[in-house]
Chains A and B, each alone.
Chain A
Amino acid sequence: MLPIITLGLPLAASIMVLFLKKKQIVKQFSLVLSVIIFITTLFYYPFFYNLTSDLPIKITDTLLSFSMDGLSYLMLLLTSFASMLIVATSFIENQERSNIFYSLFFLTIFALTGVFTTQNSLMFYIYWELALIPVYFMCGFWGGKGCEKITIKFFIYTLFGSLIMLSALIYLYVKTPYPHSFNFEVIYKVVLSGSEQSWIFWAFFIAFAVKIPIFPFHTWQPDTYTVAPMSVTMILAGIMLKMGVYGIIRLMLPITHLAMIQWGGFASILAVIGIVYASIIAITQTDIKRLFAYSSMAHVGLLVVAAFSMNKIAIQGVVFQMLSHGVNIIGLFFVAEIFNVRIGSQKIGNMGGIAKIAPKFATFFIIIMLASIALPLTNGFVGEFLMLLGIFQTNFWFAILAGSGIIFGAVYMLWLYQRTMYGKINENISSFADLTINEILIFSTITIVILGMGLFPSSLLNIAEPTINQILKIN
C-alpha cells in the first residue's frame, strides 16, 4: 500500500492540478496536496524510529522495485517537507498558466520520490532524467531574463553527466550473473576489478558532480539559480542536488569501494577546492541569489568531502546536513524572493537599512542566516560538526581546509546581512512592508525546524543509523 501512496500521490497531484483553472484555486489546492503528501510521509516516522533493531527496516515492493529504508525515508521526509514549503512560498509569486506550472512541479516531486525509493538501477536512471524535464520547462517558460540560453546550458550539462552514468549502469547490469538484473542488491554483489571500479567511479562521479555541483563542473549552477523562478531554484538547491549526494551514498560507496580508496582523495580535493573557491567568490557577489548560489555550492562541497571520507560519523553528518541544508536554503531563497518582490531587484546595492522598517523580516532572516553559518543549537551546526569530525578522523588537512568554510561563511553572510538590513535606509526603497501573516507562518515553520533539528538531532540520526551501517558493512 505504501509504495502506491508514496509514488502515486505526487503523480495524481500532477494530473489533478492540470484540470483546475483559477490561479488562486490552483495554488490552494496544490498546498493542500503537498500538506497531505507530507503528512502521509510523517505517518511512517514511528515505524522507522526503531531503536531496538540493528537491522535496517525496509518497506519493499518487488513489482514497482520500490524499497524504502531509513535513508530513503529521510530523503522522502525532506522531499515532502520541502515541497510543502516551496508551494507555500510560491504564493508571493504570480505565475501565468499556474495549473501547468504546479503540474510540472508535482511531476518533479514524483520523479524525486522515485529516485529516492527505487531499488532498480534502470528505474533510478529513468526517474533521474524524468526529474530534470519538468524543471527544464519551468525554467524556460517561467524564468527571468536570458533564461532560455542558461536553461539549455543547464540541460545539456546535466544530460551529459547522466549519460555517462547510464553507461556505467548498463555495464554493471551486464556484469551481474545470469539472469541479469538491475536490482541494487544484485549489483552490490558484483565483483569488479580495480580498473573496472576506477572507470565506473569516474562515470558516477561526473554525473553526480554536475548535479551537486562540484568544482569545476558547477558553472551552470549560479546562472540557473539566479534566473530560474524561485520555486525552481528551491527545488534545485533544496532537493534535487541531494540526488547526487544520495547517489554517492547509495551507489558509489557500496559498488566502487576500492576505487574510493584510490580516487576518493582526488575527488575530495576537488570538493575542498570548491568549498574555498565558492566561499571566496560569494564574498563579493552583488546579486543576492547568486551569492546564495555560491554559498550553497560551498556547503554541498562539504557534503561531498564528508561522503568520500567513508567515515560513519561523517556520513551521519552528510545525511543530516542534506535535510538541514534543504530547509535552510529554501529559507534563504525565500528571503531573496521577498527582496525581489518588494524592491523589484535582486541587487544588494539597492538594499540597506531594512531592519529598521521590517523588524520581523530581519529577525527571521538572521535566524536562517545563523543556521546557515552553523551556529550551535541550529540544525546547520549538528551536520557540519559531525561531518568535520568524521573528516578530521580520516584527514586532518581536509578538516582544516573544509573548516575554513565556517569562517568564510560568517564573512559573506554577515556582510550580506549588514548591506541589506543595516545601515541607512537605501534611497531606492520608498516602502518595504514587513511580513504578512502567511509569510510569518512559513518562516516560523522553518525556524521551528531549524531549532528542533538543532536541539534534538537524534530523532533523525537514529533513523539513518541502520542503513549507514549496512552500506558501510558491505565493504
Chain B
Amino acid sequence: MVSMENNLNILLLLILLFPLAGFLFSGLFGKTISKLVVGILASTAVFIPFVFSIILAANVSENVISLRLFEWIHFQNFNISFSLMADPLTALMLLIVTGVGFLIHVYSIAYMQDDESFSRFFSYMNLFIFFMLILVISSNFLVMFIGWEGVGLCSYLLIGFWYGDHENNNAAKKAFIMNRIGDLGFLLAIFLIFTTFNSLEFSTVFANASQMISGNSTIFWITLLLFIGATGKSAQIPLYTWLPDAMAGPTPVSALIHAATMVTAGVYMIARSSILYALAPEVLGLIAIVGIATALLAASIAIFQNDIKKVLAYSTISQLGYMFAALGVGAFTGAMFHLTTHALFKALLFLAAGSVIHSLGGEQNINKMGGLSKKIKVTTFVFLIACIAISGIPPFSGFFSKDEILSSLFEKNPLLWILGIIGAIMTAFYMFRLYFLVFKGTYRGSEETAKHIHESSKIMIIPLIILALLSIIGGILGLPEWMGSRHFLQNYLSPVFKNSSQILHETKHLVISEEYILIITSIIGVLIAIVCSWFIYLKRYKVFDAKIPVVFRIFEKKYWMDEIYQFLFVKSTLWLSDFFYQIVEIKWIDAIVNGVGVLVVSTGRRLRYIQNGYTEFYVFMMVLGIIALLFINFLIR
C-alpha cells in the first residue's frame, strides 16, 4: 500500500511536466516542424495528464495524496514549500481541466490550421494547462497563487493572440489589470493567513481554523479578501467587465479559459477554503447576494447582445453567478456540480459557436445569420443539445446541477430561489433566442458568404460530439434523492466538505413533495421562456427586426458599466498622471530644486577664483579638509 502511494504522488509531478514540456517544445521548435505534429504533440501533452488524472481520481478518497517538491521560500523559521496534493476536489478539477482541455486542443488543430502563429498558439495553450494544473493541485495558498497569476498571464497572451489589432490588445490588457486588482485582494488574504496561522499549507490552516469560533473577525477578513480575488478571476460584480471583452481571443481560448476552466478558479478556491467560509456567515451571505445579482445582471444583458460570443460570455458570467450563489448558501457540492456540467455544455457552446463562425468566414453578428440548420447539421444538433442542457430541461446535465442549486437557495431563503428562477427563465430565453436566430428562420447574411457555408472538418466535429454526449449524461454525477438514488458527487466530495458542512450543520431539509413543486415550477417557467423566445425571434422575427424599444436600451448598453468604469478609473488615472507630471513634478518640485540651485550658483560666482572646474580637486580638498578636521579633533582630546 505504501509503495502504491509513493507511485501515485509521482503522478502529481508528471501531470505538471507534460504540459510544461509541451510549452517549451512548441515555443522553441514549433516553427521548424509541421503544424500537425505540433498540434498532436500539444494535445498529447494534455492527454497524458488526463490519463494520470483518472488514475488519481480513482485512488483518492479520505486519504490525500501529497508531494512536497522542494522548499521554495525558506529561511530560518520561515518556510513556504512548493508542495502539491490531490484529494477528491482536486481530482474533479483535474478531470475537467485535462479532459475538456484535451478536447479543445484537438479541436484547435483544425480551427487554427490556417493561422501563421500556429505553434505560438499551442505553446500558450500548453502553458495555460500547466498553470491551471498548478492552481488545482497546489497544497498551499502561495503555490495556488502561482497558478492563479500564471493562468492570468496566459489569458492575457491568448486574448491578445492576434496582436496586430490594438482592440485585441486592449481587451487583453483590461483582463490582466482587472485580474490584478482581484489578485491584490488574494495577496492580502495570504498575508493575513500567514500572519494568523504562520503557515500557508491548506492542511495546517484548515486544521487550525476549524478550532476557531464562527464569526471570528480575522476569518471574516481572510474570507472577504479571498472573495475579492475570486471576483476578479471569476468575473463577478464588480470586476466582471473584462470577460465579455476577452472574447477578442480565438474561440477555442474562450471555450477553454473563459468558460470551462480559468474563470471557475474562483469557485474552486472558495470551495477549497470551505472551512474558512463556513466560519464566516456574513461573507457567505455577501457571496450569495453578489452571485445571484451577477447571475441576473449578466442574464439581462445577454438577452440583448448581437455578437454570438458576447451572448455566451454574459451567459458564462451569469452561470458563474449561480455557482457563487450556491457557495454562498453553503452548497459547496452543488457549486462544484454545476461547475462540472457547465464546463461541459459551455465548452460545447463555444466550440459549436466557433464552428459557426468558421463556416461563415469569421462572422459573429447573429443578425447576419439564420437558417444555418440546413447547412451545418451536426453543429446545429450539438448546439441544441447544449441549449437544452444549460436551460435546465430534464434529463440533460444542466437540469440536475441547476435544480440542486435552486433547491439549496430555497432552503436558505425562498426569495433567493425566486431570483434564481427568474435567472433560469432568462437563461432559457436568451439561449433559445440565440439558437433560433442563428440556426432557424431564414439566412440574413450576404450572398457571398452563403456560398461558402460548410460543415467543419471531422477534427472539429468529434470533440463536439463527445462534449454533447457528456452534456446529456453529465447529470448522473449527481442524481437527486427524490429519484431514489445516491448522489455520486456528494459522496465522492464528502471527505473534503465534511468539516465545513458540520460547522454549517444544515437543519432544514426539503421534503420530497416540496422538491417536486420546485422542479415543476422551474420546468414550466423554462418552457414558457422557450415558447416566448420562439414566438418573438422565430415566428414574428420581422416585427422585432426594427430598433430595440427604448426601455431595453439599458440592457443593450450593458447598464453603461464600461463607460462608467472608463470615466471613473481610466480617464481619472490618465488625468492624474498628466497632472502629477506636468504640474507637480515639473512646475512645483523641480522648480523649487532648480531655484535652490540657481541661488547656490549665484553665490558660487563670487567664489569663482577658487573654482577651477576639476571635480577631483574639490573632492581631494574635501577629503583633506576632513582629515584636518579629525586631526584637530584628535589633538583637542
Contact = CB atoms under 8 A, between A and B. Distances in A.
Nearest to A468: B75
Contacts of A137: 615
Interface string A389-423: 10011000001100110110011001100100111
Contacts of B71: 458
A77 B160 CA distance: 38
Q: Is the contact region of chain A dominated by helix, strand, or loop, or is it mixed? A: helix
Contacts of A377: 146, 150
A83 B365 CA distance: 57
A418 B190 CA distance: 31
Given A153-B597, A375-B149, A392-B188, A407 B177 contact: yes
A422 B163 contact: yes
Interface string A117-139: 00000100110011001001100
Given A156-B597, A157-B593, A422-B160, A316 B75 contact: yes
A99 to B, nearest CB: 18
A231 B594 CA distance: 26
A263 interface: no
A44 to B, nearest CB: 19
Interface of B: 70-76, 78, 142, 145-146, 149-150, 153, 156, 160, 163-166, 169-170, 173, 176-177, 180-181, 183-184, 187-188, 190-192, 194-195, 573-574, 576-578, 580-581, 584-585, 589-590, 593-594, 597, 600, 615-616, 619, 622-623, 626, 629-630, 633-634, 637
Contact of B637 (A178, A370, A400): A178
A385 interface: yes
**CB-based closest 7 A-B pairs:** A422-B163, A392-B191, A376-B146, A284-B577, A458-B74, A461-B75, A219-B590
A461 B184 contact: no
B163 A423 contact: yes
Contacts of B142: 376, 385
Contact of A461 (B73, B146, B180, B593): B73
Given A389-B191, A399-B191, A406-B180, A122 B626 contact: yes
Contact of A392 (B165, B181, B195, B594): B195
Contacts of B145: 376
Contact of B73 (A129, A285, A382, A388): A382
Contacts of B153: 370, 375
A462 B160 contact: no
B585 A281 contact: yes
B27 to A, nearest CB: 8
Nearest to B634: A180
A65 B427 CA distance: 77
Interface string A437-450: 00000000000000
A127 B576 CA distance: 40
Interface residues of A, number: 70
Contact of A219 (B169, B191, B593, B619): B593
Contacts of A54: 76
Contacts of A129: 619, 622-623
A180 B166 contact: no
A166 interface: yes
A218 to B, nearest CB: 8
A153 B170 CA distance: 39
A247 interface: no
Contacts of B584: 277
A407 B619 contact: no
Contacts of B600: 156
B72 A284 contact: no
Contacts of A422: 160, 163-164, 166, 169
A281 B578 CA distance: 7
Nearest to A400: B188
Contacts of A178: 637
A256 to B, nearest CB: 22
Interface string A339-374: 000000000000001011000000000000010000
26 contacts: A129-B623, A133-B619, A136-B615, A173-B630, A180-B634, A219-B585, A281-B577, A281-B581, A313-B78, A316-B78, A376-B146, A377-B146, A389-B190, A389-B191, A392-B188, A393-B195, A400-B188, A406-B183, A410-B177, A414-B156, A422-B160, A422-B163, A422-B166, A423-B169, A458-B75, A464-B75
B546 to A, nearest CB: 38
Residue in A136, A370, A377, A465 with the greatest tally of chain B CB atoms within 10 Å: A377
A180 to B, nearest CB: 7
B235 to A, nearest CB: 17
B188 A399 contact: yes
A415 B173 contact: yes
A3 interface: no
A108 to B, nearest CB: 14
Contacts of A284: 574, 577-578, 581
A331 B156 CA distance: 22
A372 B145 CA distance: 17
Contacts of A173: 630, 633
Contact of A283 (B190, B194, B573): B573
B623 A126 contact: yes
A370 B74 CA distance: 23
A280 B576 contact: yes
Interface string A148-187: 0000010111000000001000100110001110000000
Interface in A211-229: 216, 219-220
Among B72, B629, B633, the one with the most A-chain Cβ atoms within 10 Å of its Cβ is B72
Contacts of B177: 407, 410-411, 414
B150 A376 contact: yes
A422 B167 CA distance: 11
Nearest to B116: A356
Contact of B76 (A389, A404, A465): A465
A389 B194 contact: yes
Contacts of B637: 178-180
A424 interface: yes
Given A403-B184, A406-B187, A422-B164, 18 more contacts: A129-B622, A130-B619, A155-B615, A179-B637, A180-B633, A180-B634, A219-B589, A282-B577, A386-B73, A400-B184, A403-B187, A406-B183, A418-B160, A418-B173, A421-B163, A458-B72, A462-B75, A464-B75
A448 B53 CA distance: 31
A280 B577 contact: yes
Contacts of B622: 129
Contacts of A465: 75-76
A122 B169 CA distance: 54
A455 interface: yes
Contacts of B585: 219, 281
A404 B577 CA distance: 15
A469 to B, nearest CB: 8
B436 to A, nearest CB: 38
Nearest to A279: B577
A457 interface: yes
Contact of A455 (B72, B194, B195): B72
A60 to B, nearest CB: 23
Contacts of A136: 615
Nearest to A51: B76
A375 B76 CA distance: 25
Contacts of B578: 284
A423 B166 contact: yes
Interface string A59-90: 00000000000000000000000000000000
A276 to B, nearest CB: 9
A125 B622 CA distance: 11
A166 B630 CA distance: 12
A317 B377 CA distance: 60
Name the residue in B166, B191, B584 with the highest tally of chain A Cβ atoms < 10 Å from its Cβ. Answer: B191
Among A179, A282, A284, which residue has the most Cβ atoms of chain B within 10 A? A284
Contacts of A404: 184
Contact of B574 (A283, A403, A424): A283
A83 to B, nearest CB: 22
Contacts of B180: 406-407, 410
Given A180-B637, A216-B589, A376-B146, A414 B176 contact: yes
